[in-house]
Amino acid sequence: MSRKLKKGYFVRGQFVAEGSPLDLEYKRELKGTDELSRTDLKRESTELQKLGEDLLTLRTDLMTKLELPDKLVDGVLEAKRITNFEGKRRQMQFIGKLMRKLEPAKLDEIRAMLEEQHMPSAQETLALHQAEQWRDRLITDDDAVGQWLNISPATDSQQLRALVRQARKDAKPEKPGEALRHGRAYREIFQLVRSTLLEHAEGEQPREEAPYNDPDEV
């Protein structure tokens, strides 16, 4: 009676028994020895395990777009609820097994969604550039504070003027020839302006009393 093969591994969701014709074929394709194939497969398993961990951080709307198997979705939700370390570890192992059953195309979709989640939105990118321009204008142009208050009257004018005065003071080099310094006020002006621009973007757009410079012309 032939010995039943029990040991093996998964390749793209398919179980490959050690010693089977498919196993030998994979080893030949890898041009290596048994040790090389095990290293490669272990690397793949580790990557899928990490991808499964990242899946826990994916926003609900992006998760829905993926149309993952219900078992995997339920496994991810359960992992989020588990606080016990050992229980979490076992659940992540379970998720890793489910990940190995997914088609390569679906794994690529998951990676794309994770990348999309970490990319700033168009609004955030625009607010970042505009905030940098406004910060520099507020510090260098005496008229800029009044222009900013025209488009954002809710801004605390006393706080803004105090920050501008401090930023100008901090920027003065202690000795001739030294580079300009940027202190805390410089950073706080940027945060104040950026948060206000984002609020405008989510609601009404700022009025045009103080047009921004084209970034390509700066």
Task: Please give the angle made by the CA atoms of 18, 19 and 25, to the nearest 5 degrees.
Answer: 95
pTM given for the model: 0.43
38 C-beta neighbours (distance < 10 Å), count: 15
pLDDT mean over 90-118: 87
Phi, psi (rounded to 5 degrees) for 105: -65, -40
> Is 142:158 a contact under the CB 8 Å cutoff?
no
Is pLDDT at 20 greater than 90 in this prediction? no
> What percent of the chain is predicted at pLDDT more than 90?
28
CATH architecture label of 122-217: Orthogonal Bundle (1.10)
Split at pLDDT 50, 70, 90, the class of 47 is: confident
Delimit the domains of the chain by residue range.
8-118, 122-217
Of 34-38, 138-142, 151-155, 171-175, the poorest mean pLDDT is in: 34-38
> Is 201:129 a contact under the CB 8 Å cutoff?
no
Q: What is the mean pLDDT of the chain?
A: 79
For 145-174, write each residue's pLDDT tens digit: 999 999 999 999 999 999 999 999 888 766
> Is 139:167 a contact under the CB 8 Å cutoff?
yes
The hierarchical CATH code for the domain 8-118 is 1.10.60.30
8-118 and 122-217 share one fold? yes
Is pLDDT at 129 greater than 50 in this prediction? yes
Q: Which SS3 state, helix, strand or coil, does residue 15 take?
A: strand
Residues with Cβ within 8 Å of residue 51, at least 6 apart in sequence: 99, 107, 110, 111
Split at pLDDT 50, 70, 90, the class of 175 is: low
